[in-house]
Chains A and B, each alone.
Chain A
Amino acid sequence: MSVLIIAEHDNKSLKPATLNTVAAASQIDADVHVLVVGFECQTVVEQAAQVAGVNKVLVADNVVYEHQLAENVSKLIVEIAGGYGHILAPATTTGKNTMPRVAALLDVAQLSDVIKVEAPDTFVRPIYAGNAIATVKTTDKVKILTVRATGFDPVAATGGNAEREVLSQVIENKGSRFVKEQLAESDRPELTAASVIVSGGRGMGNGDNFKLLEGVADKLGAAIGASRAAVDAGFVPNDLQVGQTGKTVAPDLYIAVGISGAIQHLAGMKDSKVIVAINKDEEAPIFQVADYGLVADLFDAVPELEKSL
């Protein structure tokens, strides 16, 4: 049976996590459809139709879907769920918000944060902050999954030529109203899509000192991240948090600066290809997962690193 994917987008562009989700879907069935639900999102539709391996793009373009609120989007998905054996969304805050509602309305389970497809009914997902890996099998008639982007290499963004189908259902949103949004504005790559990340921890001392990391990040074209300790201490906003309770990342290079390496943080970054740790405490657990560890005072080492890149 066909697989339906809920596209991750902001009405302007298709987000990369969708490509990883298409990769997961392709391992389940060759007939992959993508639902774009939003408002004035035609460019997203064009992009989705070009994604390699996508056969059909379904479009629900209406002002009631502008902010992709879970209440009505979940009902729309349920209305079209009939022809599908699996419905997948990236495990982003949007996917996590909407998909459990879909599952509950269909009276089936949701498998969260899937990192591997073993078989069309058997999936692998981390539990206990990634300290254990569970393999689960489901006999639900429709299988609802959120997909952790770092578990799957993205498919090509171009090369496909999917047919399009316009959905006419307009489901009003009762009870939930969008008020405002404060999105962090940055020229840097998005944390979950960056190939290099420079992260700071409690060792940074205060928020101002995060500017030290910006110099290194500028040279490497990197995103900036933070440990939960740095967020808890109020150094930086929560959208920078990497870890069990924040974002899961797997860049080519992850540079952890002044981060001790609590298990909650490791859960969010230990699948990075190369890990560098800079910390003055040589006993810090971060060194156990680091490919290259430098025991040094970050206030000396980081400026020096910036200069030598």
Chain B
Amino acid sequence: MKILVSVKRVIDYNVKVRVKADNTAVDLTNVKMSMNPFCEIAVEEAVRLKEKGVASEVVVVSVGSKSCQETLRTALALGADRAIQVETEDGLDSLSVAKLLAKVAKEEAADLVIMGKQAIDSDNNQTGQMVAALLDYPQATFASEVVIENGEAQVTREVDGGLQTLAITLPAVVTTDLRLNEPRFASLPNIMKAKKKPLDVKTPADLGVEVGSNVSLVSVTPPPQRAGGIKVGSVAELVDKLKNEAKVVS
């Protein structure tokens, strides 16, 4: 079984996000970039399936400028076998990315596509579902457990009211939620080995996909700031304020 995992290079989880002064975008100059945390979980899950003998090959793909090769090397160091970069400008819209990934999944004849449920920059939570729709594959989003058996995946999903388990026939798309696994750290020898693993570069034209979107960004602004509050000295004072000042407790 072959698994395709997509990874996205995003602003590091711990970096304080700042909006550019001209309100056109978030400032990414000299900011630490890392693999999107949900994509890390996706890579980890695929590598574990390979280690269990369920998967035979793990291919990672990233869509973006040359800098995303760094993210692909990280995935290779975590245990993926080979990588594909689809060379585009950064910040492509979800549907274009989904079209490119769907083509790669088809060309690679991947039995399972594992993706993060959302990227922590655009917070869209849509690309995995779009890939599944374009390929007419079943999907299991927000996965917290994946078991592969008899040509299908039993996936436990984190839904609003609790957990839901679906059985989906392969090929299929799974998107990861936080509790699916705890990603490992790449060891130094594996980082060195990753440098020698194959990394192919393709263009949208190679894949026969036209990219572009009808959505334009008008502005990016900082969120409204909350006015600072006060410190209270005791529980009694707190309850008094909630009852008589804020009037949220009767």
Contacts and interface: CB of A to CB of B under 8 A. Distances in A.
A110 B140 CA distance: 19
Contact of A101 (B132, B140, B221): B132
A290 B226 CA distance: 8
Given A100-B126, A182-B163, A176 B179 contact: no
Interface string A89-112: 000111011111111110111111
A25 to B, nearest CB: 19
B219 A179 contact: no
Interface stretch (B64-72, B190-198, B208-216): B208-216
Given A184-B162, A292-B242, A294-B238, A128 B26 contact: yes
A132 B220 contact: yes
Contacts, number: 254
Contacts of A238: 144, 158, 177-179
A137 B166 contact: no
A302 B235 CA distance: 9
B98 A71 contact: no
A273 to B, nearest CB: 7
Interface in A1-45: 10
Contacts of B137: 175
A282 B232 CA distance: 12
Interface in A108-128: 108-113, 122, 126-128
Contacts of B139: 70-71, 97, 101, 176
A232 B180 CA distance: 11
B154 A179 contact: yes
Contacts of A247: 160
A180 interface: yes
B166 A178 contact: yes
Interface string B174-212: 000111000000000000000000000000000000000
A231 B177 CA distance: 12
Interface stretch (B11-19, B73-81, B82-90): B11-19
A59 interface: no
A179 B178 contact: no
Given A93-B159, A304-B235, A179 B220 contact: no
B114 to A, nearest CB: 16
Interface of B: 11, 16-17, 19, 26, 93-95, 98, 118, 120-134, 137-142, 144, 154, 157-169, 172, 177-179, 213-223, 226, 228-232, 234-236, 238-239, 241-242, 246, 248-249
Interface of A: 10, 67, 69-71, 74, 92-94, 96-105, 107-113, 122, 126-140, 174-184, 190, 192, 196, 220, 228, 231-232, 237-239, 244-245, 247, 252-253, 263, 270, 273-276, 282, 287-296, 301, 304-305, 308-309
The 6 closest A-B pairs by CB, nearest first: A100-B126, A100-B129, A175-B138, A291-B229, A104-B130, A101-B133
